[in-house]
Amino acid sequence: MALPSPFAPEPSYTHGQPARTAVLLCNLGTPDEPTTPAVRRYLAEFLSDHRVVEIPRLLWLLILHGIILRFRPAKSAAKYASIWTPEGSPLKVWTERQAKMLQGWLGQRNHHVKVAWAMRYGSTNIASQLTALKADGVTRVLIVPAYPQYSATTTASVFDAVYAWASKTRSIPELRFVNHYHDHSGYIAALAASVQRYWRANGRPDKLVMSFHGVPERTLHLGDIYHCECFKTARLLSEALGLSKDQFKVTFQSRLGRAKWLEPYTEPTLIDMGKAGVERVDVICPGFTSDCLETLEEINMEAREAFLHAGGKEFHYIPCLNDDPEWITALCQLTETHLSGWRTQEAPDTAAQEVSRAAALALGAKQ
Ligand SMILES: C=CC1=C(C)c2cc3[nH]c(cc4nc(cc5[nH]c(cc1n2)c(C)c5CCC(=O)O)C(CCC(=O)O)=C4C)c(C)c3C=C
Ligand SMILES: [Fe+2]
Ligand SMILES: [Fe+2]
């Protein structure tokens, strides 16, 4: 009797076929709908990831299931409802659009590449998308996280999901990973152009606040490079805009729990500015490549309210790069660099095909 294999059977799909290359754009994930049960499902998966919360497992699971998942889903669902669009969650809508545009851009540059998108948590997950790509004959995949700054909490977690899928797969495609692009010239230029465009239309602020998603401060001491990469992005953006040190400020948002996170925190900083007589602030979130709950609700609603309440006069939110053509061009340059050597721009290697076809025939003849 044959023992069952831990790997699912699969066709030897690469046999005699030319290599097919894909780019998988991976973002964080979002609930399927802005309801308490859907948000609870999403948060349960997200916050159970040991990359996201690095404290002893048992203690954390008790806190997560005993406290957080009881109260947070309803509050978060109301926030999601305030930013939801007819097409769904903004994070999903923008990520899908970026993938479509990148497909077109790469196609125009004669790359024979399939561009897909996936989410680390929730629907359209990384495993299901990799399985679909493989079923489509893809043999090489470039993984592109939507995060310009590397963090173990986000980037490494995307990679974990890819490795987990690969560990259950017999024929693993060739894999490449983009770790970060916090200092990529195209990304910085796209950010600078979006700020300049905004300022041409709306005038300039007293301060530009660059707000990045926070992480626990402990991760910095444990060696996470995220903090340094945020500051490098901010410095490069300020240089591109010709700002002096007193014209901008880097802050960190979205703190969760009681531990110390990276400082200065965005909202208290804005409150201090409002109290100190700063009349106009413009806020940009360079670490988010798509608008989402954290930018549209936490910054453009909550932080706005806090600043104005503290005495500020004008609050302007500068949107994320979303479907900005300069950003898609940067994404195209970035992927092109990482695709090099995979010969996506050439016709399939017919000589190699002939050899493998001949080998297949010879094998067939022997059986
Ligand atoms: C322990 C908690 C969290 C860490 C660490 C963390 C890091 C981190 N997150 C992003 C990007 C996004 N986070 C988003 C939402 C979100 N983040 C956390 C917690 C941590 N994030 C929670 C609980 C939530 C859900 C919303 C809520 O209940 O407050 C999002 C938006 C998702 C959306 O659906 O719109 C993004 C994007 C980064 C880049 C990062 C570390 C660098
Ligand atoms: Fe987050
Ligand atoms: Fe938040």
Which protein residues touch ligand 1 with a CB less than 6 Å away? 28, 30, 43, 52-53, 72, 76, 89, 91, 147, 151, 153-154, 213, 215, 226, 254, 256, 287-288, 292-294
Distance between Cα 344 and ligand 2 center (Å): 35
DSSP-assigned letter for residue 345: T
Atom of ligand 1 at shortest range from CA of 147? 39
For ligand 1, atom 3, the nearest C-alpha belongs to 52
The whole-number pLDDT of residue 18 equals 72
Q: Cα–Cα distance between 312 and 207 in angstroms, integer?
A: 12
Q: Cα–Cα distance between 198 and 94 in angstroms, integer?
A: 20
Q: Cα–Cα distance between 119 and 230 in angstroms, integer?
A: 23
Domains and CATH numbers, the chain: 21-181+325-341 (3.40.50.1400), 185-318 (3.40.50.1400)
Q: What is the pLDDT of residues 42-81, one digit of tens each?
A: 999 999 999 999 999 999 999 999 999 999 999 999 999 9
The whole-number pLDDT of residue 47 equals 98
For ligand 1, atom 30, the nearest C-alpha belongs to 294
For ligand 1, atom 17, the nearest C-alpha belongs to 254
The whole-number pLDDT of residue 349 equals 52
Distance between Cα 58 and ligand 3 center (Å): 25
Residue with tokens 């590397």: 150
Sign of CA dihedral 158, 159, 160, 165: positive
Atom of ligand 1 at shortest range from CA of 53? 1
294 annotated as ligand-binding: yes
The whole-number pLDDT of residue 355 equals 55
Q: Which of 279, 278, 282 is nearest to 201 (CA)?
A: 282
The whole-number pLDDT of residue 364 equals 64
Do 183 and 257 contact (CB within 8 A), yes or no?
no
The whole-number pLDDT of residue 92 equals 98
* Ligand showing the shortest atom-to-Cα distance for residue 76: 1
**Exposed, middle or buried by CB within 10 Å (0-12, 13-18, 19+), for 329?**
middle
Q: What is the best residue among 47, 93, 157, 213 to mutate for testing ligand 1's pocket, by most ligand atoms within 8 Å of CB?
A: 213
Which residues in the chain come in under a pLDDT of 50?
A: 367
Q: Which of 134, 114, 130, 81 is nearest to 296 (CA)?
A: 81
* Ligand 3 ion: residues within 5 Å (CB): 254, 294, 298
- What pTM value is reported for the model? 0.92
Distance between Cα 299 and ligand 1 center (Å): 13
Burial 17-51 (b: 16+ CB within 10 A, else e): ebbbbbbbbbbbbbbbbbebebbbbbbeebbbbeb
Q: Cα–Cα distance between 194 and 181 in angstroms, integer?
A: 18
The whole-number pLDDT of residue 7 equals 81
213 annotated as ligand-binding: yes
For ligand 1, atom 14, the nearest C-alpha belongs to 294
The whole-number pLDDT of residue 367 equals 44
